[in-house]
Structure 1
Amino acid sequence: MEITKSNDPYLIQRIAITDNLDNAYLLEVDGICPLCGKYMLLGKGKRMNKKYQIAHIYPNSPTPNEVKQLEGLERLGSNCEDFENKIALCKDCHGYYDDHKTKEEYLDLLKIKKNLTSVSKAKIAASHQDLEQEIILVINALSHIDEESLQKMKLEYQALKISNKIEDTYIILKVKVENYVCIFFNFIKEIFQDLDQAGHIDFGLVASEIKTTFLKCEKEMSSKSEIFRSLVKWLESKAVGSSNEACEAVISYFVQSCEVFHEIAK
């Protein structure tokens, strides 16, 4: 295979990947190949075997055909060895991508990397945002509520504010949040009021911290589904041992009470 000799400043000598960087690439994709969905670590006995490689999105040594295919397209990072231009792929997908790269496949992988970068930046921004630990009391209460009590507090109306804040293009997210709000809103509201009145939490501060974290996530990503997932993961990280569903219910509460998402412009 002929390799292009180029004066392109983006193309620099290959740099070895350290163990720390290797782990960072694997963590970025949550251990799953972003192209085919395969797990990229395989347990064998007491060892975990790597089933992945770190791929260049824009090739380090492009062939003449690749140079032609990718001419004028966006590149990530200041050079081809930057973290932004590499991604963890399973060995099969890496091999296929290297040997059959097209403009469309390049742009697809570029988009995947940009989305991963946005999610990563949002996680980092949110991780520095503290949350009153007493919110664990709210999440724990959600885990122990009985159906009879829940039915008594269920909303008898549709979650109208949700319709004004989540577009139909996010229909799965919209239905999920509306269901959580209709079922759990009054229950969560009562718990917050009881804790606030007893002096166990400052609800205003909790609401402010939720909104600040939302704004940090919104700055890094545009997808409301991704923002919602990032907020749920952040809440899980702050309330260790909490269930994913309880955290989804709490974030849905704050969607309804206006700390998360803006009203859709008419």
Structure 2
Amino acid sequence: MGIADFTRFLFELVTDSDDLDDIGAGRTDRTFQSFFSGKQSIDSYVKDLRGHIQFTDFIQWLENADSSECEKLRKELSEYLPASATYDFPEACAKLFESILDDPDPKPQEAGEQGPEELPLQLTYETQTEDSLLRDECLNRCLMCNKRLKAYVKVKIAKASSNYQERAALRKAVEAIGGGVEVPDFEGGFDYSSNNNLALLCPSCAAEYESSPSQDKCARLMSNKLRAKRNHLMQQQIDAVPLDDGLRDLLDSLDSLIDPNDVAELRYSPVKVADKIRPEAHILKTEITDKVNRYYGFIREELGRREANGCFYADEVCESVKACYRRLSKTGASQDQVYDTMSRWLSEATGSENHAACRVLIAFFVQNCEVFDALSE
């Protein structure tokens, strides 16, 4: 049994249906592979399963499984199962699966915090719910070493007691690091007591940061924090924009569909691109211009052909792309960041792993006026 079939089988075991398509929860093999590897969140998928989840078959399947294989599974999951030896493993495993479906995003425990008294079948060690924003921002990774957080420490990035000169120096140091983020006014309007001045670090990085503070460390951590906040905001914006699933087949097959001879015949003069890309983004301008020049005519004809065949509605696709751009443009992100994020959104929304094709299609929409506005004179 392949990865996709096994993952689909597990989801079927925890629902009241033998066929996920029957409850509107069908997905492609590639999507199930992404679920298994963790490359794609199951959050939106679980919403389709609501009202159909039951664990009777799942528990029975474990009860009838080979005992040695169950023991291997118990050891593999021991970190997430109750410490008590009195629990029933199949039921505990079902409870674990249920807790994941209820909240697909893991919530690590703050270092040094004691969990509640452990009881049989107690699987949820939910703590520090007020830190959910910080966890979301950093994607559950340390903002210093980027390792996944199994435990974390909240640290204040900059000291509120610093004088005006120190705050001005911090601003200049963060600006020097760059990264395309808007640097706050540390000398005046920045709230040193807010979440904007907090970061989640792994215990070792936190100990090192607080034991030997320096302006360089503070500036690097603040820069990482600002980039994490910006990326989180951009992700929130693109998550809210739906996209027609029919585009995936086009993206996945774009390489095989394009004939170099056809591309040569369909070359298109990208008159408008030059008026949309800022002068400082000349590499981006070159990339988009080249892609439009090569593929615009082909994609325009291919989209029209597929719409005529009922694969999707081009107007709805254009509206979704335009809505995604409008949301991202309000975050203050650069054109480079918007282009990259929209390409990633296209990949995630369709399940396509042909990332080069996603960038080609976003370039098409730049020329087609859904992405980027004309620069003011």
Give the TM-score of the pair, scaled to structure 2: 0.52
Contact conserved, 2:153 with 2:206, CA < 8 A, in 1?
no
What is the match of residue 199 of structure 1? 310
Contact conserved, 1:75 with 1:85, CA < 8 A, in 2?
no
What is the match of residue 287 of structure 2? 176
What is the match of residue 79 of structure 1? 193
The verdict on how the C-alpha distance between 1:76 and 1:21 changes in structure 2, with shifts beyond 3 A counting, is farther
Q: Which moved more, 1:67-76 or 1:231-240?
A: 67-76
What is the match of residue 332 of structure 2? 221
Secondary structure class of the residue paired with 1:166: coil
> Is it true that 1:236 corresponds to 2:347 in the alignment?
yes
Contact conserved, 2:251 with 2:357, CA < 8 A, in 1?
yes
Match of 1:70 among 164, 167, 181: 167
The verdict on how the C-alpha distance between 1:233 and 1:105 changes in structure 2, with shifts beyond 3 A counting, is same
Contact conserved, 2:252 with 2:352, CA < 8 A, in 1?
no
What is the match of residue 211 of structure 1? 322
What is the match of residue 119 of structure 1? 231
Secondary structure class of the residue paired with 2:272: helix
Q: CA deviation at 1:179?
A: 2.0
The verdict on how the C-alpha distance between 1:177 and 1:73 changes in structure 2, with shifts beyond 3 A counting, is same
Paired residues in the alignment total 235
Counterpart Cα distance in 2 of 1:34 and 1:182 = 40
Secondary structure class of the residue paired with 2:330: helix
Q: CA deviation at 1:194?
A: 0.4
Secondary structure class of the residue paired with 1:87: strand
Q: CA deviation at 1:29?
A: 4.4
Q: Which runs of 5+ in 1 are unaligned?
A: 1-15, 42-48
Deviations 1:156-192 (A, max 9, x none): 54x2322110112112222221222122212211111
The verdict on how the C-alpha distance between 1:190 and 1:141 changes in structure 2, with shifts beyond 3 A counting, is farther
Aligned-partner residue type, residue 79 of structure 1: S
What is the match of residue 40 of structure 1? 147
Q: Which has the higher contact order (CA 8 A, sep 6+)?
A: 1
Deviations 1:182-239 (A, max 9, x none): 2221221111110122233221111111101100111112311111122112111111
Q: CA deviation at 1:262?
A: 0.3
The verdict on how the C-alpha distance between 1:226 and 1:115 changes in structure 2, with shifts beyond 3 A counting, is same
What is the match of residue 57 of structure 1? 157
Contact conserved, 2:275 with 2:374, CA < 8 A, in 1?
yes
What is the match of residue 252 of structure 2? 140
Q: Which moved more, 1:89-98 or 1:247-256?
A: 89-98
The verdict on how the C-alpha distance between 1:115 and 1:65 changes in structure 2, with shifts beyond 3 A counting, is closer
Secondary structure class of the residue paired with 2:233: helix
Counterpart Cα distance in 1 of 2:289 and 2:311 = 28
Match of 2:263 among 147, 151, 171: 151
The verdict on how the C-alpha distance between 1:78 and 1:105 changes in structure 2, with shifts beyond 3 A counting, is closer
What is the match of residue 253 of structure 1? 364
Root mean square deviation, CA, Å? 3.5
What is the match of residue 7 of structure 1? none
Match of 2:243 among 116, 120, 131: 131
Contact conserved, 1:55 with 1:89, CA < 8 A, in 2?
yes
Deviations 1:27-86 (A, max 9, x none): 644677666xx5524xxxxxxx86986542224xx6x66787238625766724x2x322
Counterpart Cα distance in 1 of 2:238 and 2:372 = 16
Give the TM-score of the pair, scaled to structure 1: 0.71
Secondary structure class of the residue paired with 2:199: strand
Aligned-partner residue type, residue 226 of structure 2: K
Q: CA deviation at 1:255?
A: 0.5
What is the match of residue 186 of structure 1? 297
Aligned-partner residue type, residue 208 of structure 2: G
Counterpart Cα distance in 1 of 2:233 and 2:165 = 32
Q: CA deviation at 1:100?
A: 3.5
Identical pairs, percent? 18
